[in-house]
Amino acid sequence: MNYSKHILIIRFSAIGDVAMAAPVVRQFAEQFPAIRFTMVSQPFLQPLFEGLPNLQFIGANVYIDYRGLRGLWKLFKVLRAQKPDVIADIHNVLRSVILRFFFAGCGKRVYFIKKGLWEKKALTRRRRKKFRPLKTTFERYCDVLEKCAGAKLPPDTPYRLPEFQNDLPCVPEIAVGVAPFAKHKGKIYPLEQAEQIVAHFALTRGITVFLFGSVAESSIMEQWEYRYPNVHAVAGRLSLHDELALMQQLPVMITMDSANMHLASFVGTPVVSVWGATHPYAGFYGWQQAPENAIGIALPCRPCAIFGNKPCFLGNYLCLRSIKPKQIIEAASRILGI
């Protein structure tokens, strides 16, 4: 097929941010079938961008294969060979800035995301906080792609859920996914309280619990798997493709403000999300998730961080410890209809 335009999209990390980009990119690919889209990201994230004829994926490990300035020049030559017409930098970090500098040098049009750093600083500062919802990351991605496409995405554009074929057994009708970890401490619900949630559902007759996370966190989840009936830890045991397939079968997921929230949202699973140092107002809430399913405590110091990576002002992470397991259990049970 002869495409009218070729848009090269760059977003290397983090997993959650790439997962947030996936539904927006897929919407554009579906709405504008005459445009060719190429997504560049970490190789293992390819399943997020499969299944559309005008959307291709290029895996680029910038930490190993394309490390440093020499590596980025090598990656630039690989990407230039794809003959893109316009570059969409929806990452806007040093690596992507260097790449778009290379592309601009050979006459390509480049557009990049405006992250709203000053707005986010005002939202998270300790004093004179401006507590208001900011433009979402989805909207910021959309702004860049609309400039690249030369057309606006209609506000009522449907999102067609991806379907993941797999050989996994069917999930029981009443099941709960739990992802109790996040990258930074300010986003992790205390594990002793998270275990109470797992125990509640595991000990409720007819409910199966699936635990999601990284290999580094698997030992704790395997302890819970051993301790309680009907609990299955899948961390490190499934590929990303199969994890997405499993999530898509679940009636509800319980997560932190984490990559798993965005992965579950991507496949259309309702999510009960737990918020501590961060807040949905910063623009990182899950794709098409119901606002009432975001669980957090109103404190004058909250939010204190965009990514949850700052030390707690109070020193005790009261924002997380004050959330009762019962609140999370009730929200998930409401979705389950039990």
Predicted confidence band of residue 120 (pLDDT cuts 50, 70, 90): very high
Tokens read off for 148:
């690249």
- pTM listed for this prediction: 0.97
> Using the 8-state DSSP alphabet, how is residue 277 labeled?
S
- CA–CA separation, 90 and 112 (whole Å): 6
- CA–CA separation, 313 and 300 (whole Å): 11
Q: Nearest to residue 96, comparing CAs of 144, 44, 50?
A: 144
175-336 falls under which CATH superfamily? Answer: Glycogen Phosphorylase B; (3.40.50.2000)
* Cis peptide upstream of residue 303 (ω within 30 degrees of 0): yes
How does DSSP assign 136-205, residue by residue? PHHHHHHHHHHHHHTSPPPTT---PPP-----PPPPPSSEEEEE---SSGGGPPPHHHHHHHHHHHHTST
Q: What is the dihedral of CA 276, 282, 288, 291, to 10 degrees?
A: 50
> Where are the chain's structural domains?
5-149, 175-336
Does residue 158 carry a pLDDT above 90? no
Does residue 165 carry a pLDDT above 90? no
Dump pLDDT digits (tens) for 184-215: 999 999 999 999 999 999 999 999 999 999 99
Q: Nearest to residue 147, comparing CAs of 116, 113, 115, 118?
A: 113
Mean pLDDT of the chain: 96
Architecture of domain 5-149: 3-Layer(aba) Sandwich (3.40)
Q: Do domains 5-149 and 175-336 have the same CATH topology?
A: yes
